[in-house]
Amino acid sequence: MITDADVINDLNQSIPFLFTTISHTFGADFSEPSIYTPPITQCIWWHILYVPTFLRAMEQPYTDAHEFQIYTYLRSNYIPTDEEGAQVLSDVAFLTRELALTNCLDQEKKKKALDIRQSLVAPIRRLPVEILLEIFSLLSPERPPSDREISYSLPSRASNTLEMPWVLSHVSGLWRATSLASPSLWTDIYIASKYVKHEQFLVHAALSRSQDSPLHLCIHIDLDDSECEEIVMGILSLAAPRCISLRLDIPAPTLVGLSCSFPRLQRLELHVDTHSINLPTSVEVFMQSTQLRSVHFMEVRVPEEIQLPFTELHDLSQVFVDSYDQLADILKGANDLVSLEAWPSGVYSSNSPFGFTAEKITHSKLSYLDTGFSALEHLTLPALEGLTLDEDDPDYDSETDMEEKMLVLPDFLERSKCRIRRLGLMGYGRVAKILPLVFGSPSFITLTQLEICVESVEVYGLLGDTRLMPHLRELSIRDGFETENGETSFFGVCEEAFSAIVAVRRDRLSRLTLTSLEVERMTPDLVEHIRQIADDGIDVTFLGRRLDRLYPP
């Protein structure tokens, strides 16, 4: 196939031969045409010299001479004029056609030329800096997951320069200048001991770029390396005065050795295995953090091991308590507490025997509580809207003891006169005896969310009674039946009772979560059963072994 380029190339090679022929024919020198050149020869000159040039200009507007200017524009906030924009778009069209016709070396060169022109006319270049900053602020940096029990994996690097906000400085001079001049983009800092020797300069750069802005720190120490630990603690000391959010995943001895204070700290997440390693002394480093509002623990006792200022505390979660007295101290000290997860430890039942005389506590602001049944015997919580109940000590209490403790729930509801919207009984299957008493309580007229472990057909029957919990919209059932071969009670031994629940509640039920620890993978039959429920307009989730979500995939 002969292209325009081939024709022009052949014409260029023919020009010397044409010059020689014309010179001999007309007896004139055509090497330098001038005003004295006869009109016929001027016409020939114009066609030979200027027409091909004009044609090439029309067919090939792109030229390397523009590259430097385009790079200059890209490094600034320059917006091309309409004429310049039209020229750039013409170049883009030409280069797009040319890419299919050139060899590899020339193709790479023209691909680069095409890319920079497309970048120059990209709509995002017309955005004001203020809008760019707003977009940048929505691109949050990579953060470790907060729930260690479900999924606990840390980022692959301490400061990955291909992640936010570092990657912003790789795009253009304008983006780099904008990001460097925006302290709020550099306030999330993750420090890991395994990387800190090689990448501490990146952490210091982020600290510098954040200027005086409040910091969100994540510290992870998993190496038995005193040098690494010293570097991490040095960085933490520099950042502590500005820190408002702190996640610590550190060994117990390192926690005890903390000497810096956190005067502006508002949120604390602490992962320290102090259940198996008793702290040699109480940790008081956070007592100066008087603005602390939210604390999330992982296997930490309070207040014996970690001293906290309770005055501003609104949220305290995953705390192990050894006795009711510890729970009472928290509620008495934290008058503004809204949410509390205080789990009974293995010695709770022996330290706080059921029926013992204890201080009665009324808390007027607590709206969510996750604790053991027996604690309710001494509590009055009129603002309570969410309640999750756990066994005090399944190894210590007999089945009769547990059923007796469950009976405190109706009395607690009557005393508190609260309106429960969320109830969790995930650790219990033996609740059939108290469910009629509980669900018939005025406190559960407003119940919209229920999580429950089911071990009997009777419980399925109660869940299908719409006189109980008439406004239920979200139901989560954990299969407590012991089955074989991955069978579930939902679509097995209790299929009829379960189907009745769905049938009578389909008008109000919007979400259904089914959990079976016996199921490792979805089968065609399971998928078909779930799809039939979903066809009724119910959002269905199925969790299997290890609480992995199997449906929807």
The per-residue pLDDT for 381 is 97
Q: Is 41 exposed, middle or buried (0-12, 13-18, 19+ CB in 10 A)?
A: middle
**What is the number of other CB atoms lying within 10 angstroms of the CB of residue 412?**
23
Total length of the chain = 553
What's the half-sphere exposure (Cβ side, CA atoms, 13 Å) at 239? 31
- Tokens representing residue 239 in the block: 């950042």
Gap between the Cα atoms of 190 and 269, Å rounded: 14
The per-residue pLDDT for 237 is 92
Q: Are strands 379-380 and 294-301 parallel, antiparallel or unpaired?
A: unpaired
Cα dihedral 257→260→261→264 (10° resolution): -130
Gap between the Cα atoms of 437 and 435, Å rounded: 5
The per-residue pLDDT for 358 is 83
**What is the number of other CB atoms lying within 10 angstroms of the CB of residue 497?**
20
- Reference 343, options 315, 303, 372; nearest CA is 372
**Residue written as tokens 């301490």?**
158
- Tokens representing residue 288 in the block: 């100066």
What does pLDDT average to in each consecutive run of 10 residues of the chain (553 residues)? 44 43 42 42 39 37 66 75 82 77 68 76 78 82 47 46 79 84 90 82 90 92 80 92 92 84 94 60 87 86 75 91 87 95 76 72 96 88 93 59 75 92 74 72 87 86 87 92 80 92 93 92 92 93 91 89
Gap between the Cα atoms of 133 and 39, Å rounded: 65
| C-alpha R_g of the chain | 37
- Tokens representing residue 413 in the block: 């509801």
- Reference 416, options 369, 370, 380; nearest CA is 380
The secondary structure element, H or E, covering residue 247 is strand 243-249
Task: Decide: helix, strand or coil at residue 62.
Answer: coil
Residues whose CB is less than 8 angstroms from the CB of residue 27 and which lie 6 or more positions away in sequence, other chains included: none
Q: Are 453 and 427 in contact (CB under 8 A)?
A: yes
The per-residue pLDDT for 27 is 45
Gap between the Cα atoms of 220 and 251, Å rounded: 9
- Tokens representing residue 454 in the block: 């089911």
Q: Are 247 and 265 in contact (CB under 8 A)?
A: no
- Reference 144, options 131, 157, 161, 125; nearest CA is 157
The per-residue pLDDT for 20 is 43
Domain ranges of the chain: 4-126
Cα dihedral 158→163→164→170 (10° resolution): 120
Query: Per the confidence metrics, is the pTM higher than 0.85?
Result: no
The per-residue pLDDT for 48 is 39
Cis peptide leading into 165, omega within 30 of 0? yes
SS (H, E, C) 138-205: HCCCCCCCCCCCCCCCCCCCCCCCCCCCHHHHHCCHHHHHHHHCCHHHHCEEEEEHHHHHHHHHHHHH
Gap between the Cα atoms of 372 and 354, Å rounded: 11
**What is the number of other CB atoms lying within 10 angstroms of the CB of residue 172?**
17
